[in-house]
A = this chain, B = another copy of it.
């Protein structure tokens, strides 16, 4: 049986976070010592590792809750698991595309800011200007409004 501190070290999840996960029902209520301190078995470590890794993969706690719920019913089709993972993949791909557009814009900004004074520097100008939206990240149109003057 591990105390919460050992579990925190072993899992890489901080103590208040573990208690938080218990509070919101991601982890079952831990056993307690006679003095009311939490005690964990090995499977808590597994569950925490699962949560931690899923968080690193960008799953929300809600998605993780779903996955954990599914894994408690191991005879079902993994259709739902697959759907969750695919949705997650799409979200990740979207984030990557967006960040790559942002990266090239930042690079252009830095190129234009070559040691001059702010009044000559294009960074702030570029940031105030939406004319690049269509070319750079206008794929999701609802995110880029025209600011016509």
Known: A57-B127, A145-B12. Is A89-B75 also a contact (CB below 8 A)?
no
Contact with B along A94-105 (1 / 0, CB 8 A): 011001101101
Q: How far is the CB of A60 from chain B (nearest CB, A)?
A: 14
Known: A71-B124, A117-B74. Is A99-B96 also a contact (CB below 8 A)?
yes
Is A115 in contact with chain B by the CB < 8 A criterion?
Answer: yes
Contact with B along A54-88 (1 / 0, CB 8 A): 10111000000001001101111111011001101
Is A118 in contact with chain B by the CB < 8 A criterion?
Answer: yes
Count of chain A residues near B, Cβ 8 A: 63
Q: How far is the CB of A144 from chain B (nearest CB, A)?
A: 8
Query: Which of A78, A86, A115 has most B Cβ within 10 Å?
Result: A78
Is A15 in contact with chain B by the CB < 8 A criterion?
Answer: no
**Residue on B with the closest CB to A72?**
B118
Q: Are B50 and A124 closer than 8 Å at their CB atoms?
A: yes
Contact with B along A9-39 (1 / 0, CB 8 A): 0111000000000000000000000000000
Which residues of chain A have a CB within 8 Å of any CB of chain B? Answer: 10-12, 42, 45-47, 49-50, 53-54, 56-58, 67, 70-71, 73-79, 81-82, 85-86, 88-89, 92-93, 95-96, 99-100, 102-103, 105-107, 109-110, 113, 115-121, 123-124, 127-130, 137, 143-145, 147, 149
Instruction: Other than A77-B118, A82-B123, A89-B107, give 15 A-B pairs with Cβ distance below 8 A.
Output: A10-B147, A11-B145, A46-B128, A53-B129, A58-B102, A67-B123, A74-B119, A78-B118, A81-B123, A81-B124, A82-B110, A82-B115, A85-B106, A85-B123, A89-B103
